[in-house]
Amino acid sequence: MKLYEIEPRKLVIFDIDDTLVHTQTKVHVVKDGHVTKSLNSHEFTHYKLQPNEEFDFGDFRDAREFFANAKPIIPMISQLKKDIDTGNKVVMVTARADFNDRELFLDTFRKYGIDMSKVHVYRAGNLTVKTSTEEKKKIIIRSLLDKDSYSKAIMYDDAKPNLEAFISLKKEYPQTKFYAWHVSLDGVASEYRRTDENFADGRNPQDKGDSKRYKVPTKASISTLRKIAKQGGRRGQLAHWMANMKSGKTKQK
């Protein structure tokens, strides 16, 4: 008898500015109540606030400006459509906060034929924690990986710090393979660096692996693993993934 092939579950993450679209929107740096400099999205990603400085995101919330001036990066728009059509879990994770007109913001992508009912947009700018943009994106991506089990996680971003933060998650999720793609200004995506080590049990003799570390009984029944999964946390996530894998392998034609 043939076993059903297990369809890999993929999480595909797209940045927005300078990854899917080019914009001229500026983030202002304010010190002592005065704007000292204005940064484009690429400059903003790499800028480190100095003492007494803060960011003014007012222009970044203007949906009308975004709709009127955002220019599609055609190769990446095509990649986005392909991933949506393939049925992957597709999300956008942006440094921006909420726009002042949600529907007009979504219309910016709809006018290029993108079904936004199949894409959720996560806004790192909404997080109140005082940390870098890449760390805020990492918090969002971690929450997505905690909610479900994925065989692959793929990220497209023009900012290398964001990709580094993404790659750093692979040790927390050994059953997921991570692929980071750096997007150039002309929309060409190239693999940032090899990230497909999965740190599974037995991969390296010196590593006991997460399953042993979290005391997950790898030979347990599916029902037992489901009970452990309900406990949550890293142990629950591993048990959830193993139960899904075993469940898939037992389905026969």
Question: Residue 60's pLDDT band (boundaries 50, 70, 90)?
Answer: confident
DSSP state of 2: P
Does 228 score more than 80 pLDDT?
A: yes
Amino acid at 251: K
| Separation of alpha carbons 241 and 148, rounded Å | 8
CA distances 150 to 106, 193, 198, 247, Å, are 26, 20, 12, 15
pLDDT above 90 coverage of the chain, percent? 49
- Which position has the higher pLDDT, 58 or 131? 131
Least confident of 130-144, 171-185, 223-237: 223-237
Per-residue pLDDT for 5 more than 60?
no
Specify whether the CB–CB gap between 169 and 142 falls below 8 A. Answer: yes
pLDDT tops 70 at residue 203: no
Which of the pair, 248 or 54, is modelled with greater confidence?
A: 54
Helix residue ranges per DSSP H, the chain: 41-46, 63-69, 74-86, 102-110, 133-147, 160-167, 210-213, 222-229, 233-249
Beta-carbon count within 10 A of 227 CB: 14
